[in-house]
Amino acid sequence: MTDTITVVDNRTGREYTLPIVDGTIRASDLAQIRAEGDDHGLMAYDPAYLNTASCRSTITFIDGDKGILRYRGYPIEQVAETASFLETAYLLLEGELPTATQLAAWEDDVKYHTYVHTNITKFLSGFRYDAHPMGMLLGAVGALSTFYPDAKDIHDPHSRYVQRVRLMAKVPTIAAFLFRHSRGLPYVFPRNDLGYIGNFVNMTFEIGGKHEPNPVLQRALEILLILHADHEQNCSTSAVRSVGSSQVDPFSAVSAGIAALYGPLHGGANEAVLRMLDEIGDVANVPAFIESVKAGKGRLMGFGHRVYKSYDPRAKLIKRVADDVFEQTGLNPKLKIAVELERIALEDEYFVSRRLYPNVDFYSGLIYQAMGYPTDYFTVLFALGRLPGWIAQWEEMLRDKEQKIARPRQIYVGAAERPFVPLAERG
């Protein structure tokens, strides 16, 4: 058996043998297949990249049929059970688990970059009181590039490390400021005596210089961030890679990722789930809601996934986190509606035949709400979690000799050449 594929172009009768490497053929190998000498050659047409590998990656492995997710080879269940978020970030960014010394140095570097330039607080205060925090976040993170012009030195490994530390350290501070902004509360500045999660929670919830930390809720938040830390070539990561491929600075590239995450089909789904549960209102209304989804009137938010065609392993872990959190906070009343939605959907032919299962966003919003975060803030928390993944994927893209500026092709289906009609002659 040779690792090649032979195709016959029935337009010309010519035969081509193309190499198969890692279960793929190179789309550019198709270009040699021409019907006429001057055509551009055969292209692969794949809207939404349903079956196209855009890169080689060593970061995250997913088997969507078996419900497997691994970071750098380590099963997500084991990482979430044992690691801290910064340890997970180190793993994703550096490729290996840190030693105790390496972890301490990494934690220190991040800790001492948590402050942001005070001008950032000035422009944040220019946002309307009801501005969506994701809109503010993508603007503020993009603006960081103007504070750190050295971030343009993307080919310098030291500069890349500094920007990585700045992103990991300052995005939680900005995220916490947005939370305070929406409430008209004064900003709480970072505290270096607290850990990464403890500091973030303190910056969001401290009132009058006081906040009583709840270790169970803090660990739950940490696990949620770990579960969101990377998910290979999803929409926002592809956005970071694609924008980063123009060789723009990492703050601008990550801000593109935040924009992509904002959408309701991606990270915005956790917010959409809560709005959906509010709309359903009562367990008694669940069957009617399911029928309306089946009739094409909207989607069951938090269900379905491009890659997972079985139970999302993150959703399984999140259900366990939910138990811990609700034990502390009391049951979120909307949980009953969510559980009933899941029960019916998992038995219903419509969802079963399409292999639609709860995804990471189905239960996470209920937990964030129980922790005291408002609905429009959920996707910001997702962004905090996904940050190391975006940076790791950006770095991998930059170091990949095969990558160039991302620039897909198209099939032009518009008008053929026609003479321009002056304004006065247009009917």
Per the DSSP assignment, residues forming a β-bridge with 69 are 62
Stretch that binds ligand CMC, among 98-106, 181-189, 293-301, 399-407 (CB under 6 A): 293-301
Using CB under 6 A as the binding rule, whether residue 386 contacts ligand CMC is answered as no
Catalytic residue list contains 305: yes
To the nearest whole angstrom, how small is the minimum distance from the Cβ of residue 254 to ligand CMC? 16
To the nearest whole angstrom, how small is the minimum distance from the Cβ of residue 28 to ligand CMC? 26
To the nearest whole angstrom, how small is the minimum distance from the Cβ of residue 133 to ligand CMC? 16
Using CB under 6 A as the binding rule, whether residue 301 contacts ligand CMC is answered as yes
Per the DSSP assignment, residues forming a β-bridge with 14 are 9
Judged by beta carbon, residue 179 or residue 351, the one nearer ligand CMC is 351
Judged by beta carbon, residue 70 or residue 299, the one nearer ligand CMC is 299
Using CB under 6 A as the binding rule, whether residue 390 contacts ligand CMC is answered as no
266, 312, 348, 376: which is the annotated catalytic residue? 266
Residue 250, burial from CB neighbour count under 10 angstroms (0-12, 13-18, 19+): buried
Catalytic residue list contains 181: no
Residue 319, burial from CB neighbour count under 10 angstroms (0-12, 13-18, 19+): middle
Residue 2, burial from CB neighbour count under 10 angstroms (0-12, 13-18, 19+): exposed
Helix (H, G, I), strand (E, B) or coil at 74: strand
Using CB under 6 A as the binding rule, whether residue 393 contacts ligand CMC is answered as no
Quick one: which H or E segment has residue 102? helix 100-111
Looking at 79, 154, 356, 397, which residue binds ligand CMC (CB under 6 A)? 356
The sign of the dihedral angle between the CA atoms of 299, 302, 308, 310 is negative
Catalytic residue list contains 266: yes
- Residue 20 CB partners (closer than 8 Å, separation 6+): 3, 4, 5
Using CB under 6 A as the binding rule, whether residue 201 contacts ligand CMC is answered as no
Judged by beta carbon, residue 181 or residue 266, the one nearer ligand CMC is 266
CA distance 225 to 106: 18
To the nearest whole angstrom, how small is the minimum distance from the Cβ of residue 290 to ligand CMC? 9
DSSP string, 268-302: THHHHHHHHHHHH-SGGGHHHHHHHHHTTSS--TT
Longest Cα–Cα distance of the chain, Å, equals 79
To the nearest whole angstrom, how small is the minimum distance from the Cβ of residue 293 to ligand CMC? 5
Using CB under 6 A as the binding rule, whether residue 305 contacts ligand CMC is answered as yes
Using CB under 6 A as the binding rule, whether residue 211 contacts ligand CMC is answered as no
Per the DSSP assignment, residues forming a β-bridge with 17 are 6
Using CB under 6 A as the binding rule, whether residue 325 contacts ligand CMC is answered as no
CA distance 426 to 417: 17
To the nearest whole angstrom, how small is the minimum distance from the Cβ of residue 80 to ligand CMC? 16
What is the residue whose two structure tokens read 């999803």?
234
Residue 378's CB is within 10 A of a number of other CB atoms, namely 27
Task: Copy the structure tokens of residue 231.
Answer: 């998910």
Task: Copy the structure tokens of residue 173.
Answer: 């501070």
Using CB under 6 A as the binding rule, whether residue 302 contacts ligand CMC is answered as yes
Using CB under 6 A as the binding rule, whether residue 137 contacts ligand CMC is answered as no
181, 305, 348, 376: which is the annotated catalytic residue? 305
Looking at 233, 245, 359, 364, which residue binds ligand CMC (CB under 6 A)? 359
Using CB under 6 A as the binding rule, whether residue 364 contacts ligand CMC is answered as no
Using CB under 6 A as the binding rule, whether residue 299 contacts ligand CMC is answered as yes
Q: Are 8 and 14 within 8 A, CB to CB? A: yes
Judged by beta carbon, residue 54 or residue 214, the one nearer ligand CMC is 54
Using CB under 6 A as the binding rule, whether residue 293 contacts ligand CMC is answered as yes
Looking at 172, 304, 385, 388, which residue binds ligand CMC (CB under 6 A)? 304
To the nearest whole angstrom, how small is the minimum distance from the Cβ of residue 314 to ligand CMC? 9
Residue 411's CB is within 10 A of a number of other CB atoms, namely 7
Q: Are 380 and 175 within 8 A, CB to CB? A: yes
Stretch that binds ligand CMC, among 108-116, 180-188, 351-359, 411-419 (CB under 6 A): 351-359
Helix (H, G, I), strand (E, B) or coil at 303: strand
Q: Are 236 and 255 within 8 A, CB to CB? A: no
Looking at 234, 255, 364, 393, which residue binds ligand CMC (CB under 6 A)? 234
Judged by beta carbon, residue 173 or residue 242, the one nearer ligand CMC is 242
* Dihedral angle of Cα 399, 402, 403, 406, to the nearest 10 degrees: 180
Cα atoms in the Cβ-side hemisphere of radius 13 Å centred on 379: 28
To the nearest whole angstrom, how small is the minimum distance from the Cβ of residue 66 to ligand CMC? 17
Using CB under 6 A as the binding rule, whether residue 114 contacts ligand CMC is answered as no
Using CB under 6 A as the binding rule, whether residue 313 contacts ligand CMC is answered as no
- Catalytic positions, please? 266, 305, 361
**Sites of contact with ligand CMC (CB under 6 A):** 234, 265-267, 269, 293, 299-306, 354, 356, 359-361
